[in-house]
Amino acid sequence: MKQNNDAVYIIAEAGVNHNGERELAFALVDAAAVAGADAVKFQTFDATRLASKHAPKAAYQKKSTDESESQLAMLKKLELPRAWHAELQDYARQKGIEFLSTAFDPDSLIFLTELGMPLFKVPSGELTNGPLLWQFARTGKPLILSTGMATLAEVEQGLAIIAHALEFSREPADMDEVWQCWGTRGSRQRLQGHVTLLHCTSQYPTPWNEVNLRAMDTLASAFGLEVGYSDHTEGCLIPVAAVARGARVIEKHFTLDRLLPGPDHKASLEPDELKRMVSDIRSLELALGDACKAPQTSEWDTRKAAREQVVAAREVVAGAVFSREDLTTARSGQGLPPTALWGLVGRRSARTYQAGEIIEL
């Protein structure tokens, strides 16, 4: 990921929004680069291995595509041809953006590994696919693990499988072996800096009352890993809010036009919206600061002008004993701080003061 570890890593998720059209795929890379995202991500799969001919569509897919069409037929039209990958990767590099793709089957994972992915994002649907998850981990690449639809126990199981793969070069004989490995602190520590957990709600678009951003806190607390957010809501507010809540990675679907046919366009940002989201996140990062509570550079002049000092409330003659009624505070630009007022009561005045004059020791 980015060498600047303080910056949020923003993935512009093209996914299957290329609709099987080569020119559209390259145009998505352009749009992601112009928006300022760190990476543009596609999806790599063999439809015949990903879904059987009897697999049903999700409800959101039925709404946005031909309801009578099978999931397999839909996915077949949305495959990203292998021949395009290297070209898209080279093109993305020319545009100054990382090319990523998510694998949904072992052969696709091998292909992407040979292509030299800098990291792998594991999709929510494969979190419980132990054998494929183990193979993801064996690549040795940093992993971004999406947790849509998952219970906390399923997330822990996925992490245990990853930890096993990072320690052993052979697949486990059973889950007992995985859990035995997970029981050692060293095994769990291998995940630090290697795995980022993405909170996610796998509904397209996600209603706001099902976003549950506080679940990011739960993931961070439970596993001590960096967290992020994969967003499927409409608009830009929720991913920006996720960054304010501590997300270190943001993934957001985008499209060139929400009216295009396909399952994911409706829940995607259009190019100008993606650009605004990236800009808002970068502005928010600046606003979050470094957590040190101290006057900012621009505040020093205001601090001098806005703070009050001890002054005479009325005329006080030289040698008189200051009473509380002789003293007050006012903005003077210099002099004793207001808290010094109490200590002056009962002391003798070294000189005569007129009302409003700065008191000197």
Report the amino acid identity of residue 305: A
Per-state percent for the chain, helix, strand, coil, to nearest 5: 40, 15, 40
Instruction: Kindly report the average pLDDT of the chain as a whole number.
Output: 94
State the Cα–Cα distance between residues 25 and 17, nearest whole angstrom: 8
Both structure tokens of 15: 């996914």
Residue 172 has pLDDT above 70, yes or no: yes
Residue 304 has pLDDT above 60, yes or no: yes
Task: Give the CA radius of gyration of the chain.
Answer: 30
Q: Using alpha carbons only, give the angle 138, 202, 274 rounded to the nearest 5 degrees.
A: 90
E strands in the chain: 9-15, 39-44, 98-103, 120-122, 143-146, 195-200, 226-231, 249-253, 308-312, 327-331
Q: What is the mean pLDDT of residues 182-206?
A: 96
In terms of residues, how long is the chain? 361
Question: Are 147 and 200 within 8 A, CB to CB?
Answer: yes
Give pLDDT tens digits for 127-164: 999 999 999 999 999 999 999 999 999 999 999 999 99
Residue 350 pLDDT class (50, 70, 90 cuts): very high
Specify the pairing of strand 9-15 against strand 249-253.
Answer: parallel
- The domains of the chain, with CATH numbers, are 9-288 (3.20.20.70), 294-361 (3.90.1210.10)
Lowest mean pLDDT: which of 16-20, 32-36, 91-95, 283-287? 16-20
Give pLDDT tens digits for 35-88: 999 999 999 998 777 776 767 756 766 666 666 667 777 777 788 999 999 999
State the Cα–Cα distance between residues 145 and 13, nearest whole angstrom: 15
φ/ψ bin of 40: left (φ > 0), alpha (ψ from -120 to 50), beta (otherwise):
beta
